[in-house]
Structure 1
Amino acid sequence: MTLFDDREHAFEAKFAHDAEMQFRAEARRNRLLGLWAAELLGRKGEAAEAYAREIIKADFHEAGDEDVFRRVQQDLGHLLDDAEIRAKMAELKAEAKAQLLQEV
């Protein structure tokens, strides 16, 4: 194997790792968002966990965050405006990334 092949393999491995970490961070963010929204809706315990799983599943409808945003907006639109929901999503994404970095 040449030096070029080694570098190519390293870049491919880094790309795969970064993509996996991004997926895990988004899934964790969605769980945290679901638990936060469940609390606002008065759900506790298993009901809160079930709602968080629903939010995680909502992310598989289309690429990006809009499917998750729409789901939470549908449930919390009467309590919060769009900017507050988006701000919480951004805050929780940073928190999810920090949690994953601590685990590594």
Structure 2
Amino acid sequence: MTTFDDRERSYEAKFAHDANLLFKAEARRNRLLGEWAAELLGKSGEDAKSYALTVVSSDFEQPGDDDVFRKLAGDLEGHADAATIRAKMAEMMGEAKKQVIDEAK
């Protein structure tokens, strides 16, 4: 085994680890967004949890964040505008990354 092989394995492991953390952070962000949106819609308890899961599952429709944005924009019409939703998406991504990293420690 050469140093190059060791280094290559190390980079591959780091890439896989980072991709896994990003996946978890995006799912966490979507759940947090779902909880925020549920509150705006006046949902609580199990109804709010169920709604948050629909936001998480909406992310599997196509790559990227547009599917989540479309879901929220449609559901929050009259409650939040596009700029507010985008800002909340960015805010929640930061919070989700922090939570996932803290849990990984």
TM-score (norm 1): 0.98
1:29 Cα shift? 0.1
Q: Partners in 1 of 2:64 and 2:97 — Cα distance?
A: 17
Equivalent residue, structure 1, for 2:13: 13
Equivalent residue, structure 2, for 1:64: 64
Runs ≥4 in structure 1, deviation > 6 angstroms? none
1:80 Cα shift? 1.2
Q: Structure 1, unaligned stretches of length 5 or more?
A: none
Asked whether 1:87 is paired with 2:87, we answer yes
Equivalent residue, structure 1, for 2:32: 32
Asked whether 1:52 is paired with 2:52, we answer yes
Which residue identity does 2:69 align to in structure 1?
F
Q: Partners in 1 of 2:35 and 2:84 — Cα distance?
A: 16
1:100 Cα shift? 1.1
Q: Partners in 1 of 2:77 and 2:42 — Cα distance?
A: 15
1:77 Cα shift? 1.9
- Equivalenced residue count is 104
Deviations 1:52-102, CA, capped at 9 Å, x for gaps? 100000000000000000000000021111000000000000000011111
Q: Structure 2, unaligned stretches of length 5 or more?
A: none
Deviations 1:7-47, CA, capped at 9 Å, x for gaps? 00000000000100000000000000000000100100000
